[in-house]
Structure 1
Amino acid sequence: MDETTTNDAAGPVLSLGQRIQYLRERRGMTREVLAGLVGKSESWLKAVERGQRQQQPRLPILLQLAEALRVRDLSELTGDQSMPIRMFTGPGHPALAAVREAVNALPLQPTGTVQPLTTLRARLDSAWRTRHSSPDHRTALGRLLPDLIRDAQLAAVMYQGEDRRRAQALLAEVYGLTQMFVAYQPAQDLLWRVADRALMAAQESEDPLALSCAVWFLAQAHRDAADFDAARSINEQGLTALSPHMDRADTELLAMWGALHFELAFTAARLGEAGEAWRHWEEAGRIADRLPGDYYQPWTSFSRVIMRPHAVTVAVELHQSGESARQADHAEAVPIPSRPRRGRHLIEVARAHQLQHDHDAVLGTLELAQQTAPETIRYNGYARRMTLEMAEAGPARLRRQARELADKIGVLT
């Protein structure tokens, strides 16, 4: 955030209202638009920005404002470093320290027995299957990743020639899986380390599939950090690098081509660029139609079946209330063959219901997400915000039920 909006000794002290106005104007958003996104009147927002209200907005409204203004840390909005930020990121998983230790244990002086590449490939495939089939996928991965990371890092150093390039491609994919474990945990330094290392390993492998996969993960890291220009740039560079290989692309490479096109749609939606977002979504859909009907890519979830859930995400990110409700109706029961991805989709459906102010549907869908993939909802910032809002400021008849859900996903602890 710009230094003029910080509350420290080196700069001016801004009120909450001034911060909201600054962030709103930085996004090119009118008062009418921002007020509508949080369910308030333009006059209410004007009074908040000018400090004319005796009481500050309650926490649930602050969370909605933070989401609408795309701020990662609530203190950017409030200036109060003591605000409970964990509701955005989720807690750290008990296995996080072991995964960090494995990533940091680079074999600079390699010793030990290197595993056959076929064995590493089989272990990695098994880890992907475990990730998609487990309701508590982070716990399951936390048991597998430390040894897999160490063995893949060793192989990438010990093998030579063509086998070394194959080992580097495997290592890049292991780092991608590691990023899925680390994401949305309080470990941004580790996330960037594995994302950068994945790209370097993929480049060393000279494998276009490994490179496109690493680009996909790196673009996600940039977008989640709200660096949309960087996300779009690395995404477009990935498509350019992949383009010469598309004439002879197999199913996996074609799926990565489609996944990267959808990432452009996602980034455009986050930026409020509706035309660009839907254009890229349509192109991704045309690519998905060229895939086998039962195909489902383990790294990106790209497939025919995922395009409806992707449409929900685009509409929600664009805050298109009616369109998000329509897409959610079409996609709520889509048979996604991955428990964590199905859980994430249900959270997106809940966001669509929130845009419609359908409190019962929001809570019911979040509860279904918790039953489907507890460790998805526990680490999802949107789900945590919606649950807290329902628990503290939702309809009185739903607050007890919402507090029970909040307790299950760790918002109230």
Structure 2
Amino acid sequence: MDNRGIGRRVAYWRTRRKMTQEDFGALMGQSRRWVQDFEGGKRQTDPALSVLERAIAVLQVPLEALLYDTPNRECLDTAELDTIRAALQRHDVLTGTADNDPTEPLPLDTLHRRLVHARTAFQSGHFASLGRLVPELLIDTNRAAARHQGDTRLGAFRLLSLTLELTEAAGIKYGDHDLALISGHRAVAAAERSHDPVIMASAARHLTDAMTMHGQAEAAAAFAVAAAARLEPELRACGADGLSVLGMLYLKAAMAEAVIGASDDRRAATAARSVPGLLDQADEHAEELGTDGLNRVWTAFGKTNARLYRVAAHVQLSEGADAVSVAADIPAPARAALPKERRGHLLTDLARGLTQAGQRTEAVDTLLDAERAAEEEVRCRPRTRQLVEDLLLLGVGSAEGRLRALAVRCGLPG
């Protein structure tokens, strides 16, 4: 046990839980000076078990998080997901009404800057920061939508919908599909109240993803296609933003159909055959958009991201060799221009495709590339950690040492 680092780890988790030293001390039954000394290493030579037990209860972490530098501590944890869920379950957020806070709602430009910061963090692969950023954004954007009037209120609903989309994305990343579905539904409702077709389409593509992951792939595909058909005339009038979200709707519909195609559903074969056509439709919109890598409305939509989805669809349909072939045709500069989250996602999908194709050593090296591109995409996502476990069971020959070291960094038995 590394006693010398306990105070440092307590300080880390206290800060991550957004507690002041005074608040932590009060919950520990101690003074602020005691906390300063403890975190500074003056009281941690041999901390009493009762102190550690109280600290893990206050900080909502397992004992090993204070005793050791755990490999995947940067991941969004259960307590932070619970904080996001608690914000969603507040009466004012559930009902869309004003809370009892007497202060004026924040100006839209302030909320927009905070939203940009949070969504940029997500696209940079820093998912753990969402546990700190999302709950306040949910409360503050809801308050703005409830209290503002006129065009300002419409703008607040746009920001609320985009915040709920981010909540949905966090749920998808961490395998909390209930959280994702609830957030996705509310994002669509807020988007409709914004009267903005771009935000409506953006929310629809996120809900499609959540429905697919929640086992409702058939309804998800139908919803995405219906949203695209309904909104296309208005989206075309919105320039690059409109084309970007329109293209994403077809990509999400393709993935929903691929999920059906990989199942034992009665229409699996039909669904699998529909995937290329939906991907081709997205490609057409990418061609119309022209410039790649614009990242309008945080979609990263363009020719390259459309290819990423083609890789993912092949992997979903267990067509590993095809996925590897498509990935090989993506130019390195185009891949490098993607947001880190997208790069990491492509590489983890490619690693899965290589595994399906029997190229397991290459799969391990690709996972290591993914870790370098977007660490949390590999170490924190349940789906990627499952791939690491699968490769350990399958055997990877000369890459076994590298894989076992990766497993340890993912918090898995090496």
Give the TM interval when normalised to the shorter protein: 0.7 to 0.9
Partners of 1:321 and 1:332 in 2: CA distance = 19
2:311 maps to 1:312: yes
| Cα distance, 1:198 vs structure 2 | 0.8
Q: Counterpart of 2:385 in structure 1: which amino acid?
A: R
| Cα distance, 1:284 vs structure 2 | 0.7
State how 1:78-97 maps to structure 2 within 5 Å.
92-97=77-82
Structure 1 339/189 Cα, relative in aligned 2: closer, same or farther at 3 Å? same
Partners of 1:165 and 1:201 in 2: CA distance = 9
- Contact 1:297/1:303 (<8 A) preserved: no
2:116 matched to which residue of 1? Answer: 125
Partners of 2:399 and 2:237 in 1: CA distance = 55
Secondary structure, aligned partner of 1:271: helix
2:105 matched to which residue of 1? Answer: 114
From 215, 219, 242, the equivalent of 1:226 is: 215
- Contact 1:281/1:311 (<8 A) preserved: yes
| Cα distance, 1:235 vs structure 2 | 0.8
Partners of 2:116 and 2:173 in 1: CA distance = 23
| Cα distance, 1:236 vs structure 2 | 1.9
1:244 matched to which residue of 2? Answer: 233
State how 1:13-412 maps to structure 2 within 5 Å.
92-107=77-92, 108-110=97-99, 111=101, 112-133=103-124, 135=125, 137-185=126-174, 187-272=176-261, 273-291=271-289, 292-331=291-330, 333=332, 334-412=335-413
Secondary structure, aligned partner of 2:298: coil
| Cα distance, 1:254 vs structure 2 | 1.1
| Cα distance, 1:93 vs structure 2 | 4.8
Structure 1 237/327 Cα, relative in aligned 2: closer, same or farther at 3 Å? same
Deviations 1:92-148 (A, max 9, x none): 455223222322234345232201112212221222222223x4x112222322222
Deviations 1:57-105 (A, max 9, x none): xxxxxxxxxxxxxxxxxxxxxxxxxxxxxxxxx9845522322232223
- Contact 2:208/2:253 (<8 A) preserved: no
**Which segment drifts farther, 188-197 or 217-226?**
188-197
The TM-score with structure 1 as length reference comes to: 0.72
% same residue? 25
Secondary structure, aligned partner of 1:183: helix
| Cα distance, 1:274 vs structure 2 | 3.9
Structure 1 293/195 Cα, relative in aligned 2: closer, same or farther at 3 Å? closer
| Cα distance, 1:395 vs structure 2 | 3.7
Partners of 1:308 and 1:336 in 2: CA distance = 14
Partners of 1:395 and 1:122 in 2: CA distance = 46
Deviations 1:39-68 (A, max 9, x none): xxxxxxxxxxxxxxxxxxxxxxxxxxxxxx
Q: Counterpart of 1:267 in structure 2: which amino acid?
A: A
By relative contact order (CA 8 Å, sep 6+), the higher-ranking structure is 1
| Cα distance, 1:354 vs structure 2 | 1.0
- Contact 2:240/2:296 (<8 A) preserved: no
Deviations 1:327-380 (A, max 9, x none): 122238322421111111101111121121011101111111122212112343
Secondary structure, aligned partner of 1:293: coil
Structure 1 199/326 Cα, relative in aligned 2: closer, same or farther at 3 Å? same
Partners of 2:98 and 2:361 in 1: CA distance = 58
Secondary structure, aligned partner of 2:336: coil
Partners of 1:232 and 1:390 in 2: CA distance = 31
Q: Counterpart of 1:341 in structure 2: which amino acid?
A: R
2:26 matched to which residue of 1? Answer: none
| Cα distance, 1:210 vs structure 2 | 1.3
Partners of 1:138 and 1:341 in 2: CA distance = 13
Q: Counterpart of 1:103 in structure 2: which amino acid?
A: L
Structure 1 356/93 Cα, relative in aligned 2: closer, same or farther at 3 Å? same
Deviations 1:259-311 (A, max 9, x none): 11111222222222343111111111111112233412353331232122222
Partners of 1:406 and 1:275 in 2: CA distance = 36
Secondary structure, aligned partner of 2:329: helix
- Contact 2:279/2:310 (<8 A) preserved: yes
Partners of 2:184 and 2:293 in 1: CA distance = 29
Partners of 2:221 and 2:206 in 1: CA distance = 12
2:44 matched to which residue of 1? Answer: none
Structure 1 312/224 Cα, relative in aligned 2: closer, same or farther at 3 Å? same
- Contact 1:114/1:155 (<8 A) preserved: yes
Number of residue pairs matched? 322
Give ranges in structure 2 of 5+ residues lacking alignment. Answer: 1-74, 262-270
Secondary structure, aligned partner of 2:294: coil
Q: Counterpart of 1:102 in structure 2: which amino acid?
A: A
Which structure: greater helix fraction? 2
- Contact 2:314/2:322 (<8 A) preserved: yes
| Cα distance, 1:247 vs structure 2 | 4.4
Q: Counterpart of 1:95 in structure 2: which amino acid?
A: E
